[in-house]
A and B are shown apart, each in its own frame.
Chain A
Amino acid sequence: MSDLTNTSGTPAQNTGGERPILEIKDLQVGFNTQNGLVKAVDGVNITLYRGQSLAIVGESGSGKSTTAHAIINLLPGTGHISGGQILLDGQDLTKASKKEMEGIRGRKIGFVPQDPMSNLNPVWSIGFQVEEGIRANGIATGRKEVKKRAIEVLKQAGLQDADRRLKQFPHQFSGGMRQRVLIGMGLAADPQLLIADEPTSALDVTVQRVILDHLESLTRELGTTLLFITHDLGLAAERAEQLVVMYKGKVVESGPSVEILQNPQHPYTQRLVAAAPSLASRRIQATGSVHAAEAKLHEGAESAAGDEIDLIATAEARAEALAAAAAAPPAITVENLTKVFKIRGAGEFTAVDDVSFQIPKGTTMALVGESGSGKSTVAKMLLKLEDATSGKIVVGGQDLASVTGKQLFELRSRMQPVFQDPYGSLNPLRNIGNTISEPLSTHGVGDRVSRRERVFELLDQVSLPRTLVSRYPNELSGGQRQRIAIARALALKPEIVVLDEAVSALDVLVQAQILRLLADLQGELGLTYLFITHDLAVVRVIADHVSVMQRGRIVEAATTDEVFDNPKEQYTQDLLAAIPGANIELGA
């Protein structure tokens, strides 16, 4: 791979003898662990010229964030730079003293961190936190001057009422507003280089777009060089001129963005491009066998082409299945569902407002919307984890409102959830075998031996090795854990699976695998899915029908193709337009 690392992004138009603002040469970053030194970054070369924008793309664990943290020398825990050079305008940062680094951070290199929720100190006001940065970098002195500058940078970052909100605390700001504060902080001292580490991955798509647009125009205006880090290929292609693809601590490919995406050279990049769910893709068809799907995925670039053939071959079958499903009674009927929460001191809040839909048996309906749109509340009421204020939910002919006690217990076995966080939804103290068999023992299905058999069967179904039975969740990756959660949901052979953001926390490649698994299981077992997500690109590949929610109401409902090809509501159009990379044809 080392031959590839030398092709770092050095476009001809920039090489007029000009010194790059940032040059990373053969960077090595290691973490001391119980098993010795683990290399997180291994021989990375990146060259970035003034005024350019460059994106580092890769899945989690690829070393992209570690590279960013190494540049400003703020590696977590035992991390340290074990080799190579980081040249900022000719100065080697790996040799800079503590004091020199303090001078460089903020003033020469601005940093916008990933998670707006955890990156502001909850006990200090927004104004305090912006002002201390301004003061530390000597941008302004004197109370009034500092305050003036703080308001200025916050306004610049898109907080129009900054002067009024200086005294407020982080928890009084929304995620998008906090991200603007963090961007304002990063740019407060007019740094030459701004590092943005997944600046919007925690935000809704529509907010994401506004923030990124703003960041882009702002850096262009100020002439700031932008280095940003993302796991989202579409986003990288849309926002950066140069692209560096990282995989397992190494740079596997780099060059102009569009070129890489349309003509990826390295097998990993090809897989990444193929796996990225974009608007161009179509619904995944069940391929009959999970293993075939797995095998196909490992073939890399061919898998996308393979899908095309599959698509044509099975599209008619799918259409027939859908037609048949329409004739059968729906698995889930929801009528005029409303949920009102009482808020102390603030009256009432209608989270779900007069929502009605039907899901035919064996199909997938996606419930789409931004956070706070009420989609998860619908799921909770459907699972009867929350009682509806009014309206009716009928599952398999049974009205949920009248179901209690034993009947409810029995109904739960037919309707299973899979939640978003694969880390939080598995008990760390229970091994995988016990986790998967828990629903079986709760519902008194079979004896020990038959339950064990069923666990093995389920592990096979979700393509995990049987040896995992005695392992614990912390030994597994995020994707493996989500498979376990799916296996657990399938243990009781349910008819309905409610997937609440079930793939949102996963990397694109893993996401693609899980989506494929879900599609195959649906084909095999005739499952009905309610798929809740904020990610429209995922919807395209998994759903038959889409309902778009906004502020508790369903604003648009139609088949997936119709919604994507011909969105009627302005809100749906906004959501679609906000998908990063929507307008870029990814190569394959």
Chain B
Amino acid sequence: MAGYIARRLLQAIPVLLGTTFLIYFMVFAMPGDPIVALFGDKTPPPQVLEQLRERYNLDQPFIVQYFIFLGNIFRGDLGTSFSGQPVSDILVTTFPVTLRLALMAVFIEMVAGITIGLISGLRKGGIFDASALVVSLILISLPIFVIAFVAQYIFGIQLGWFRTTVGPGAPTQDLILPAIVLASISFAQIVRLTRSSVLETESQDFVRTAASKGLARRRIVPVHILRNSLIPVVTYLAVDFGVLMVGATVTEGIFNVPGVGRTLYQAIIRGEGPTVVAFVTVMVLIYLVVNLLVDLLYAVLDPRIRYAK
């Protein structure tokens, strides 16, 4: 098992090199001069521009810039943003916010999605099942910004339960509403995934065998139906967590959450190469780790995989 994990982490190295190179190249290829853009309408003296270009190595050819960046990374220096703030500082302030938001969203969609999916699956064709299907279809077909605005309007303005935007320091209670909005999309997927998984498991022979042993329904449902049905659901949840961790640009923007998504979006607009590349590098890392965890989780959930390795 240790060898397997080591192998997977080694595979991450070429992936990281490839992605950072691609991102660096695309930031470089973006039209416009980021230094000029910094000054807006004003025309700065040419010497100042030269100085700034030199400071950010923008006067060097692309490939040299890339290797300078790479070398700095290995020394633990992720560079500085155009506003003079070290990129590592920005990472440290934004990622914990997104992490909290992602955890809350995953928790909400997990509890609500699995519960409703299970009931729908067990009572296939009933009123509950039909209503759950309608609600999930509505949630799936609406764009997330619509859901976000509706949630802001109803819970923020009309009912006044939550603040419509996240305050300084992103207190947890302010994150509840954006977390619900983020959860609503995957919630619908989880309901449908759980439902179909439960239906499939329920028709399995071993469920009938469990009943033939004399087990009560209230034991068969959690132990033999739900436990087996959760394997695809849990892996979906883990992947979803990875997606949320790399930032939900639209939702973070609408709710003014000082997280990864919003910060990255602003950095891209400003053409801040070091910030964008540093963020994407961390995101790729998170993604690789989450994927590795998903594969390990599979083994935990399904003994057939556990012992095959």
Contact = CB atoms under 8 A, between A and B. Distances in A.
Interface of A: 69, 72, 74, 76-77, 98, 102-107, 110-111, 113-115, 118-125, 129, 132-133, 136-137, 169, 171-172, 182, 185-186, 188-189
Interface in B158-210: 203-206, 208-210
A102 B216 contact: yes
A133 B208 contact: no
26 contacts: A77-B203, A102-B214, A106-B213, A106-B214, A106-B215, A110-B212, A111-B212, A111-B213, A118-B205, A119-B205, A119-B208, A119-B209, A121-B206, A121-B210, A121-B224, A122-B303, A123-B227, A123-B231, A123-B301, A123-B303, A125-B303, A132-B213, A136-B213, A136-B215, A136-B216, A188-B213
B303 A171 contact: yes
B26 interface: no
Contacts of B203: 76-77
Contacts of B208: 69, 74, 76, 113, 119
Contact of A103 (B214, B224, B228): B214
A122 B215 contact: no
A121 B210 CA distance: 9
A354 to B, nearest CB: 30
A300 B295 CA distance: 59
Given A98-B217, A171-B307, A132 B206 contact: no
B201 to A, nearest CB: 9
B137 interface: no
A119 B215 CA distance: 15
- The list of the 5 closest CB pairs from A to B, nearest first, reads A106-B214, A133-B213, A111-B212, A118-B205, A169-B303
B75 interface: no
Nearest to B228: A123
Interface of B: 203-206, 208-217, 219, 223-224, 227-228, 231, 301-304, 307
The dominant DSSP class at the A interface is loop
A105 B307 contact: no
B301 A137 contact: no
Contact of A113 (B205, B227, B231, B307): B205
A104 B215 CA distance: 10
Contacts of A124: 223, 227
Nearest to A120: B206
A376 to B, nearest CB: 22
A234 B217 CA distance: 38
A121 B213 CA distance: 13
A254 B304 CA distance: 45
A169 B299 CA distance: 13
B223 A111 contact: no
Contacts of A114: 205
A182 B219 contact: no
A185 B303 CA distance: 21
A118 B204 contact: yes
B214 A107 contact: yes
Nearest to A107: B214
A296 B236 CA distance: 59
The residue among A98, A106, A110 with the most chain B CB atoms within 10 A of its own CB is A106
A111 B206 CA distance: 12
Contacts of A188: 213
Given A98-B217, A122-B228, 18 more contacts: A72-B211, A106-B213, A111-B212, A113-B212, A115-B205, A119-B206, A120-B206, A121-B224, A123-B228, A123-B231, A124-B227, A125-B303, A132-B210, A169-B303, A169-B304, A169-B307, A171-B303, A172-B307
A117 to B, nearest CB: 9
Contacts of A169: 303-304, 307
A106 B219 contact: no
Contact of B214 (A123, A129, A133): A133
Of A102, A103, A106, A111, chain B has the most CB atoms within 10 Å of the CB of A102
B209 A182 contact: yes
Given A118-B204, A122-B302, A171-B304, A136 B209 contact: no
B229 to A, nearest CB: 10
Contacts of B209: 111, 113, 119-120, 182, 185
A153 to B, nearest CB: 12
B304 to A, nearest CB: 5
Given A132-B219, A136-B219, A171-B307, A118 B214 contact: no
Q: Which of B211, B216, B231, B302 has the most CB of A within 10 A?
A: B211
A157 to B, nearest CB: 14
A106 B211 CA distance: 8
Contacts of A107: 214
A357 B99 CA distance: 67
Nearest to B224: A121
B100 to A, nearest CB: 32
A98 B217 CA distance: 9
Contacts of B215: 102, 106, 132-133, 136
A106 B60 CA distance: 79
A186 B214 CA distance: 10
